[in-house]
């Protein structure tokens, strides 16, 4: 499917906006997905193309927090359920009838908008929970958690499984389910994953956020790789969007500190709700 030059320009601008929004507050998919469907692209193909096009942004966010990821390497086994979930979500998307998916779209957008709306209250609650678990200490600094050094060595006593390991094992199922959602639609995935990790794993939000970035990247990577061979990716549009998203991400980084993320997040939520209403009205 080929678009008109003006349509490519509009898609590129939407991707720039999404890249900047993702860098500042999150929720860029609520901009790009409606833009693609507005260009006449079928909803499933639009979602598939959007996932592939925005993948470099997840890679950039993960690379930016590589120290937090590498310092907790024994937890990277959670990437397995994330990969499986992304694969299942992508499979379910491609097996969903176009008409049915269009009927689900407004509900998915409303869910993503709700997740974005509760992101800050949820983050404050999680910070309070982390501070309480650490004896009232400030959760923003990044001290090594109990039993771990800067390189995240194994607990003392080779072959001994710590209680923390048992607790972390409970994260596998909710991470898998979140990844299924991420592979199927994806908007708001980071909020779900961070909440799951913080509820199960006793650690600072800085480190959990790094792990969340990696889980999100692997989820979208497996879904995108599955989509590559589906024949549903509109590559010319994906290429334009990828460039736009990278430019937008760089602009968002420069605007950090100048644009209040909370204000931008509210704007994106309002846009998301408005788009969902339009989808409901148009059927």
pLDDT in tens, 233-269: 999 999 999 999 889 888 877 776 677 877 878 888 8
Q: Could you tell me if residue 176 is inside a domain? A: yes
d(CA 27, CA 273): 12
Percent of the chain with pLDDT over 90: 39
The domain total for the chain is 1
Q: Could you tell me if residue 243 is inside a domain? A: yes
Q: Could you tell me if residue 149 is inside a domain? A: no
Q: Could you tell me if residue 224 is inside a domain? A: yes
Measured at the CA of 232, the angle between CA 87 and CA 85, to 5 degrees, comes to: 10
Q: Could you tell me if residue 159 is inside a domain? A: no
Give the side-chain half-sphere CA count within 13 A for 190.
26
d(CA 61, CA 279): 31
pLDDT in tens, 155-169: 443 333 444 555 677
Q: Could you tell me if residue 151 is inside a domain? A: no
Residue 278, domain extent: 5-140+164-282
The CA-atom distances, in angstroms, between 162 and each of 55, 64, 113, 154, 167 are: 35, 30, 38, 9, 9
Q: Could you tell me if residue 173 is inside a domain? A: yes
> Mean pLDDT across the chain, nearest whole number?
82
Q: Could you tell me if residue 34 is inside a domain? A: yes
pLDDT in tens, 66-110: 888 888 888 889 999 999 999 999 999 999 999 999 999 999 999
């Amino acid at each position: 499917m080929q678009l008109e030059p003006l349509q490519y320009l509009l898609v590129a601008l939407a991707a720039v906006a999404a890249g900047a929004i993702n860098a500042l507050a999150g929720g860029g998919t609520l901009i790009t997905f409606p833009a693609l469907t507005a260009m006449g692209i079928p909803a499933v193909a639009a979602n598939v193309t959007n996932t592939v096009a925005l993948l470099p942004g997840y890679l950039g966010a993960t690379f930016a927090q590589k120290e937090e990821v590498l310092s907790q390497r024994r937890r990277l086994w959670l990437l397995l359920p994330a990969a499986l979930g992304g694969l299942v979500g992508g499979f379910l998307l491609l097996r969903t009838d176009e008409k049915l998916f269009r009927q689900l779209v407004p509900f998915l957008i409303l869910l993503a908008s709700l997740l974005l709306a509760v992101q800050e209250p949820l983050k404050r609650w999680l910070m309070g929970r982390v501070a309480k678990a650490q004896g009232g200490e400030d959760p923003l600094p990044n001290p090594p958690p109990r039993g771990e050094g800067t390189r995240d060595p194994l607990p003392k006593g080779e072959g001994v499984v710590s209680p923390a390991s048992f607790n972390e094992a409970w994260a596998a199922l909710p991470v898998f389910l979140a990844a299924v959602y991420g592979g199927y639609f994806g908007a708001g995935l980071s909020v779900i994953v961070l909440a799951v990790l913080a509820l199960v794993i006793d650690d600072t939000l800085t480190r959990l956020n790094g792990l969340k970035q990696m889980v999100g990247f692997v989820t979208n990577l497996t879904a995108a790789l599955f989509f590559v061979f589906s024949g549903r990716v509109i590559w010319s549009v994906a290429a334009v969007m990828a460039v736009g998203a990278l430019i937008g991400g760089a602009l968002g980084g420069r605007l950090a500190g100048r644009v209040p993320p909370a204000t931008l997040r509210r704007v994106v939520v309002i846009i998301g709700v408005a788009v969902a209403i339009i989808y409901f009205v148009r059927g």
